A = this chain, B = another copy of it.
Amino acid sequence: MKEKQAETGIKLLWGTANLFSHPRFVHGASTSCNADVFAFAAAQVKKAIEATKELGGVNYVFWGGREGYHTLNNTDLRREFDHLAKFLHLAVDYKKKIGFTGQFLIEPKPKEPTTHQYDSDCAACMAFLKTYGLDKDFKFNVETNHATLAGHTMAHELTYASGYGMLGSIDANRGDELIGWDTDQFPTNLYQTAQVMLAVLNQGGLGSGGLNFDAKVRRESFEPIDLFYAHIGGMDAFAHGLKIAAAMRADGVVKEMLTKRYASWDAGIGATIEAGKADFATLEAYMLAKGDITPNTSGRQELLENIVNRYLR
């Protein structure tokens, strides 16, 4: 692989290990009830990190695989979470030991194959990382289809992750909101690709991360040429989404409306609160003196949706 990389100049976005297909992982890997499986997974991930380093990989992805449960009747949830945290700490230790400088990523997903995956969404991953002191060592690899399976829009997951500096990379696919499983279809919706690129531009790029097609052609698209149609379509959709996002940012109309909407926080009582100079007693006094709030204005959702539509046509 290293030779092929040298020949083509193609670099390695990330490495990972398959800790879910072999029957050994039937009850999970680091969260298995069988401690040997933890050890086996450790050996496997050790080797995968080494290989990723050797190939110049700039990220390493932990996808939850079978880390979750099918029934709480046979599951010690807290103990399994503790084991998951222990495993990731050992991975961080090993990364430092061998001097691998790539970014560690975890990939949120709420279910499938298990009934409940521990890395269910960005917020659940954040709770886990914070609880176990791992939040400085990991970012998220966010996938569109996993977001919607968790009941969130992709834009929500990106905005949340990005807002806390945790957006590391993106699995650029799509699902079907009316379907309850992971379809991993190639992305084609321009609204969605524009939203993704907007989130990426807003945080100044993805750093060492990238857009990765975790997508497959449909079973019915079984001819080799379908692979080309799918990849070209997906890339075009993102290229066009990038243009839309860039145009939105250049115009600044939406941004300006947003700034204006929160203006009350930039001065007066809002600024006082943000500066930490108010408490319940002073706020009560302020409001008793004022009588009632400065009237609210409309959220302008419909207008904003119309404005976004301008960039699509």
Find out whether the CB atom of A264 lies under 8 angstroms from the CB atom of B35: yes
Q: How far is the CB of A229 from chain B (nearest CB, A)?
A: 4
Selected contact of A300 from candidates B229, B273, B286, CB within 8 Å:
B229
Q: How far is the CB of A40 from chain B (nearest CB, A)?
A: 5
Known: A265-B35, A284-B46. A218 touches B302 (CB 8 A): yes
Find out whether the CB atom of A39 lies under 8 angstroms from the CB atom of B72: no
Taking the complex as formed, is A180 at the interface, i.e. its CB lies under 8 A from any CB of chain B? yes
> 0/1 per residue, A128-142, Cβ < 8 Å to B?
101100000000000
Docked complex: A52-108 residues within 8 A CB-CB of B:
70-79, 81-83, 86, 90-91, 93-94
Find out whether the CB atom of A179 lies under 8 angstroms from the CB atom of B115: yes
Known: A159-B72, A306-B236. A33 touches B298 (CB 8 A): no
Taking the complex as formed, is A4 at the interface, i.e. its CB lies under 8 A from any CB of chain B? no
Interface magnitude class on chain A: 35 or more
Nearest opposing residue in chain B for A259, CB measure? B76
Query: Which of A115, A191, A298 has its CB near the most chain B CB atoms (within 10 A)?
Result: A298
A131 to B75, CA, bound (A): 28
Interfacial chain B residues near A12, Cβ < 8 Å? none
Query: Which of A188, A273, A305 has its CB near the most chain B CB atoms (within 10 A)?
Result: A305
A124 to B128, CA, bound (A): 10
Q: How far is the CB of A116 from chain B (nearest CB, A)?
A: 6
**Would you list 9 pairs from A and B whose C-beta atoms are within 8 A, ordered by A residue?**
A26-B222, A33-B264, A149-B180, A150-B151, A180-B180, A190-B312, A220-B299, A226-B303, A236-B306
Find out whether the CB atom of B46 lies under 8 angstroms from the CB atom of A280: yes
> 0/1 per residue, A166-205, Cβ < 8 Å to B?
0000000000111111000010111100000000000000
Known: A43-B287, A269-B39, A302-B230. A178 touches B151 (CB 8 A): yes
Interfacial chain B residues near A280, Cβ < 8 Å? 42-43, 45-46, 90-91, 93-94
Find out whether the CB atom of A294 lies under 8 angstroms from the CB atom of B127: no
A237 to B191, CA, bound (A): 14
Taking the complex as formed, is A249 at the interface, i.e. its CB lies under 8 A from any CB of chain B? no
A254 to B77, CA, bound (A): 15
Q: How far is the CB of A111 from chain B (nearest CB, A)?
A: 6
Nearest opposing residue in chain B for A122, CB measure? B127
A292 to B71, CA, bound (A): 27
Q: How far is the CB of A20 from chain B (nearest CB, A)?
A: 11
Find out whether the CB atom of B218 lies under 8 angstroms from the CB atom of A281: no
Interfacial chain B residues near A78, Cβ < 8 Å? 159, 163-164
Taking the complex as formed, is A120 at the interface, i.e. its CB lies under 8 A from any CB of chain B? yes
